[in-house]
Amino acid sequence: MTSATRDAAPRTERELRYRRLRHAMHDASLDGLLAYAPAWRREHVHYLAGAGVRASFAFAYLPVAGDPVAFVAGSADAAAVAAAGWVADVRPLAGRDVAATIAAGRPARLGVAHLELLPAALLEPLRAGLDGVEIVSATRLMSLVELVKSPWEHDRVRAAAAVCDAGWEAFVACLRTGLAEYEVVAAVEAELRRGGAEDNFMLIASGGADVRGMTPPGPRRLGPGDMVRTELTPRLGGYYAQICRSAVLGRAGEGQRRSFALFAEALEAGLGAVRAGVTAHDVAVAQNDVFRRQGLGEYTTSRYTRVRGHGHGLHPDEAPPIVEGEETVLEAGAVVIVHPNTFTPLAGYHVLGDPVIVTPAGHEALLRTERRLWEVEP
């Protein structure tokens, strides 16, 4: 049995997804939903086709009634979609085929997920072939459907979270003075791959209180007293989970300890706010208020930080962003990571975060890694 066959979603998962998507389409007065997958955002096509794709472009089309169609570039993607068994009609992505197929159903209004990322070379033939059809963005519609995971998906995210724990263990184990950031990431990547991970999105930052954020790994070499931060996001069985932690080479200094205490309080406040029915705004406010009480409210703004968490699953950074003003309701079954990652003058940029499944009464924690400031022999 191949890994693709082993990880294939059951037919009941297909029917659940299509039912939820069509319900959302009905509410939005859409006659069809076209999912577009550029090379770096493939989650919508994966969700609809039941299989990951690897080429630069792909589409999957779901009419409000009738059978879906997939358009792929290359035999490998065609084989992957066919093997999943969700979409029987798999066609090469060429010319005006996409528009002609959709037009045959005579839709009045078409939603396109990732319409904002569709290049002119693909969008113009689509518009030309669908003259008279209203084309609107369905990115948020599809993202919100995907936010609430099924029990089958929860099992995949739990398995990915276990890989997060293993990745953090590998991260701590390899830290030593003189090691370059890229060597740290290489060691972690090798361990994750040995554990079955298919991919890993990872950021890192090392140094002192001057560190303002995380980046891809560079040549900087670790030194005594450095705080080494990482956002580690492996994928297993098609699903990502994320862990955010920070470690110190040697004994943590006073500023680093104070920073950790602040972030631990903010994380606990954010997790304490999570339950079905609250909004992403509510979870962000709970975290930000901890900083405000300490006179550090300016560091919760976009000048110093991006989000206080986000959804994830088929993509490492899914909707909704957990920020103030984001009124998306977190329903039971949603998967999000809560992380109050930001810069403060206490110890520079600090990261601490855990993924959870939203429940009616609160949340299910997905990691077993301790929430502490790790101290490592330099």
pLDDT value at residue 7: 63
Question: pLDDT value at position 8?
Answer: 77
Write down the pLDDT at residue 378.
87
pLDDT exceeding 70 applies to what percent of the chain? 98
pLDDT, tens digit, 9 for 90 and up, residues 210-235: 999 999 999 999 999 999 999 999 99
The CA distances from residue 105 to 21, 68, 363, in Å, are 18, 12, 43
What is the Cα–Cα distance from 73 to 220, expressed in whole angstroms?
40
Phi-psi region of 244 (alpha: psi -120 to 50; beta: other; left: phi over 0): beta
How does pLDDT run across 72-116, given as a tens digit for each residue?
999 999 999 999 999 999 999 876 799 999 999 999 999 999 999
Query: Which residue ranges of the chain lie beneath pLDDT 50?
Result: 1-5
- Tell me which H or E stretch contains 110: strand 109-113
Asked whether 44 and 112 are in contact (CB, 8 A), the reply is no
pTM of the model: 0.94
The pLDDT of residue 44 is: 98
Q: CB within 8 A of 278, min separation 6: which ones?
A: 329, 330
**What is the DSSP secondary-structure string of 241-279?**
--EEEEEEESSPPHHHHHHHHHHHHHHHHHHHH-STT-B
Kind and range of the H or E run holding 333: none
Q: Are strands 318-321 and 309-311 parallel, antiparallel or unpaired?
A: antiparallel
pLDDT (0 to 100) of residue 26: 97
At 341 the pLDDT is: 97
Domains of the chain: 3-146 (3.40.350.10), 151-376 (3.90.230.10)
Give the pLDDT confidence score for residue 221 in this predicted structure.
Answer: 98
Residue 260 token pair: 């950790």
